[in-house]
Structure formats: C-alpha cells, structure tokens
C-alpha cells in the first residue's frame, strides 16, 4: 500500500474519532461586521531639556582618533544618572546614539564613543553631543577630520 494513502486513512480515522460524524457548525453570518475598538492613552515623548550652561557643570570633549571622542563631565551629583546623546546629520541622513550611565562618587562621568565605527557612518563629520542629567543638559559640538 502507498505510504501517502495510508497516512490519509489514518488521518481520516483520527478526525472521525476526535470530531465524530456530526457536521461542523458554522456561526451565523452577521449583517454588520464586529469591530473591536481599543482606546489608548495618548503618549508624548519626554522632551530633551534645552542646553543649559550651569556654572558648576563642565563638559569637555577630546578627539582620541579620527573617528572617536572621549567625553568628561564634571560637577554632577554623586551617582547621578547621565544620558549622553551623540547626533549628526548629512543632507539626506541622520544618526543618533544614546548611552546611559552614572557619575562616580565625585560627580564625574566619562565615556568614549567611536562615532564613525561603521563604514556607513563615514560621511558624518559634524557631531552634536548633549549630556542630559537631573538638572538639565549640557551641549557641545565637534567636527571630525575628513575621511
């Protein structure tokens, strides 16, 4: 006997045992379609605070290679949460990288970032760096050398 034919017979017997010989009931067709509506609360993005120069908070950026920078921000609160945003634009593209961390016990946060680590990022030369902390944000810009 053919293996496929045997499978069909076994499946048919299994269906009879599971469902019996009664025809399957189909629900009556509704004249008006059922539409389920879900109401969601509006979501708004948390705005990034404008750059505020605080006299006791200082951001420095050093070029450590043709593609990488090192940022250091002092004057933060001990163990304060910090978000560093690195952004750049060309005429037809934009890129943004966000990293988060904490200041040390002296209120210092340091981080190194390879801004053009991938070859698709080689066109990005001018970068804006924004460090957001509990009292606002501090900003600066840096231009990387041409590639």
Annotated domain spans of the chain? 58-143
The highest-confidence range among 3-12, 20-29, 78-87, 130-139, by mean pLDDT, is 78-87
Is the model's pLDDT at 41 over the cut of 70?
no
CATH code assigned to 58-143:
2.60.40.10
Instruction: Quote the CA–CA distance of 70 and 64 in Å, as a whole number.
Output: 7
Question: pLDDT, tens digit, for every residue of 80-138?
Answer: 999 999 999 988 889 999 999 999 999 999 999 998 877 777 888 999 999 999 888 89
Instruction: Quote the CA–CA distance of 78 and 69 in Å, as a whole number.
Output: 24
Nearest to 115 by CA among 49, 50, 64: 64
Which residues, including other chains, have CB under 8 Å from residue 104's CB and lie 6 or more apart?
Answer: 78, 79
Q: What is the mean pLDDT of residues 18-44?
A: 61
- Residue 24: predicted pLDDT: 58
């Amino acid at each position: 006997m053919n293996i496929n034919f045997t499978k069909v017979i076994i499946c048919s017997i299994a269906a009879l045992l599971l469902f019996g010989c009664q025809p399957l009931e189909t629900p009556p067709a509704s004249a008006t379609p059922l539409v389920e509506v879900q109401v969601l609360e509006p979501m708004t993005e948390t705005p990034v605070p404008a750059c505020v120069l605080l006299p006791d908070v200082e951001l420095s950026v050093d070029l450590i290679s043709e593609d990488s920078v090192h940022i250091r921000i002092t004057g933060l609160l001990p163990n304060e949460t910090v978000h560093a945003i690195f952004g750049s634009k060309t005429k037809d593209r934009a890129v943004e990288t966000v990293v988060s961390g904490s200041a040390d016990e002296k209120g210092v946060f340091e981080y190194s970032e390879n801004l053009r680590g991938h070859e698709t990022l080689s066109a990005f030369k001018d970068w804006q760096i924004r460090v957001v902390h509990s009292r606002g944000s501090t900003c600066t810009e840096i231009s990387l050398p041409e590639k």
